[in-house]
Structure 1
């Protein structure tokens, strides 16, 4: 992503803290409102809570979510809904070079220029596990925070299916992976409308020629001492639904052997229901299950909250994004005859099969101990360390640039 994109978003936030038009009275009023919100979240008597974010900042919304997880009462149920600007969100234990086509995220790169996509796209590492997902304005993210003892992987996905069925989406169900899919087969048989794991269009076998169900919601989870978080996407009307697979297909996939969690690829689809109507219906299902009253709207003002701001800042660091990556090995043989072993985003070993000890030594000196996210131009970097520069070194630089690109998302 273009450096200016990330910086401009930070400027929007810092400006809100220091703009001259902010009076002492309005700042005092904001502090009282923030204090009131924080007290509400943590109030032991507030056992059912519901919030909608007006912000589209993925770093902020994930930080609000984390705050709710850690600060809400142990026996409470909380629903949080939000829509993010275009971004790819990877799981805590995933490898961005393996899961994401990083060259497409910056709308100015040659890779993006040859593929008519949507311009700059954020890359975010969340705090929960699970696979990589794509967010944009046509996707609603829902999260439920509940007592750990009350948690199952299906329970709140079933709640979402009930909401969809009330809106006429009779093909929606929860599958065996706890995701929500739309069955695509012709009508097979009648089914119990209360059964959220089966529809009249559910096919009973892979060998019957029926079309595969289309995934419309993928889930991830996080547990702490007494609390559980279940959050998920919901593809309602994404204008980029046909491009999602391109963002989630890394050119390095066949060259990387990695630890950590790999994403499971599935065909996806929009559901085709109105965003606001779905929000209302989902909130109704939540209140039916747990009770509760009004939903509170929150937004950028929560960046003034100390714990949310701290979480927001952490998500926007290179250390969190790149150096949380589990160990992996990338082998670019035979094209470039090089193998790198990388731990937590730092090169630990270099193997180069060119038969020249001097060149291997130069590569090891240049790369061992180097953070990959600090190398943005492989050709310039290698030319500063390899002497003399040979024709085959151009291939090496091109291969490394193609398979290990890095985006300048944040200030260094």
Structure 2
């Protein structure tokens, strides 16, 4: 068994599902040893740098300089599944069951009334949840984004890469096994946009020191910091992790995708629509929806196992009221209660549906230019259905064909519906490629 240098793991196979082993090799394969959870005992914390020399050039981004006297009831979940549908559904399920401040106070009052000291001890601390997972290749758009604007759908289909719409805001991201996704859930009173980005940043920087990949003060090549957009960036400003948030009913979560050894060439290919030639055919999309902020990206070049261990350790040190006895729960499709399975299956079905992925797009206009660069045809779309078609400059459209195009009003905005109404193979191919 391969052990992390900073974690004391069991040296024997667990006798029950109550304790399990998670190794570097098994994380890479996506198949950890059987079991639900393990307890982690930490070595002594990594010593900090002397004096002020350790402060980052970009500012004081390290959470070691903050006052973390208050501790939380920290729960940590690590997914064994590599299914993006399962992992996004499980994240949403976790958030749906995460208690608000009012619910926590009610549970604490009940525990105190029943004189349950162990439960009372846990509930006396406000909750915080950390969820870590990795997905097979997929593209994930934000709750209020337009996939026709954000993604090269033709390349996506050709590569067999699924498209998902998540529940949080933010921009479009690419997932593969070269990155790890993190999600941190808190009650509203404990939520800030910078807090957990800085903690993740701090965890990775400290790992680089521990493994002697850099030394204090941090070298320019390996230094990570949090910028004004709460992205984690390297010394030249290339993004290694973005941030997205969801805030509702007294609770919130912050999640991100941390680039470790991701296929960056594929990122560029899938997340950018081809630009039209000057004066030639192209497309314009106008209307609602949050546009992604294009940024240069970079890998940090550590393994996913190193990242997972470093983040769990730092969160335990900073946040858990039981620092030296932290429980990590491993989850997958087989390790669910009946109630959990039903809730997650319902969420997976939503994530896979056309109604959620495409019809949830804010209303927009999709304009196609012809070979001469002039506007040829425009579709107005709301809730995934065509509300109006305007034929502007499409000589191939005979009056009878124009009438047929108008029959598209009220129909779903999908290639199978529109392509048969197009006048020739050129326009049929254009529509099929775009949708």
Q: Using structure 1 for the length normalisation, give the TM-score.
A: 0.71
Tell me by how many angstroms 1:377 deviates.
Answer: 7.6
Counterparts of 1:8-407 in structure 2, within 5 Å, are 47-74=73-100, 75-107=126-158, 119-168=159-208, 170=218, 171-184=223-236, 213-238=237-262, 240-251=263-274, 254-291=283-320, 292=322, 293-301=326-334, 302=336, 304=338, 305-335=341-371, 337-353=376-392, 354=394, 357-365=399-407, 367-373=408-414, 375-376=415-416, 378-379=418-419, 381-382=420-421, 389=423, 393-403=424-434, 405=435
Contact 2:142–2:165 (8 Å) recurs in 1? yes
- Do the aligned partners of residues 246 and 303 (structure 1) sit closer, same or farther apart at CA in structure 2, a change above 3 Å counting? farther
Distance in 2, matches of 1:91 and 1:63, equals 15
Distance in 2, matches of 1:129 and 1:174, equals 19
- What is the SS of the residue equivalent to 2:350? helix
Summarize deviations over 1:346-403 as a string: whole Å, max 9, x none: 11100002486543322111x1111123x33854x226xxxxx5xxx33322322222
170-179 or 285-294, larger mean C-alpha shift: 285-294
Summarize deviations over 1:92-139 as a string: whole Å, max 9, x none: 1111111001111223xxxxxxxxxxx321111101111100000010
Distance in 1, matches of 2:232 and 2:331, equals 27
Query: Alignment length, in residue pairs?
Result: 311
Distance in 1, matches of 2:230 and 2:368, equals 36
Rg comparison, structure with higher value: 2
355-364 or 243-252, larger mean C-alpha shift: 355-364
For structure 2, the 5+ residue unaligned runs are: 1-16, 18-35, 38-71, 101-125, 209-213, 276-281
Q: Using structure 2 for the length normalisation, give the TM-score.
A: 0.68
Distance in 1, matches of 2:318 and 2:360, equals 37
Distance in 1, matches of 2:86 and 2:429, equals 36
Contact 2:143–2:168 (8 Å) recurs in 1? yes
Q: Which residue of 2 aligns with 1:114?
A: none
Contact 2:180–2:257 (8 Å) recurs in 1? yes
- After superposition, the CA RMSD in angstroms is 2.3
Contact 1:378–1:398 (8 Å) recurs in 2? no
The structure with the greater share of residues assigned to helix is 1
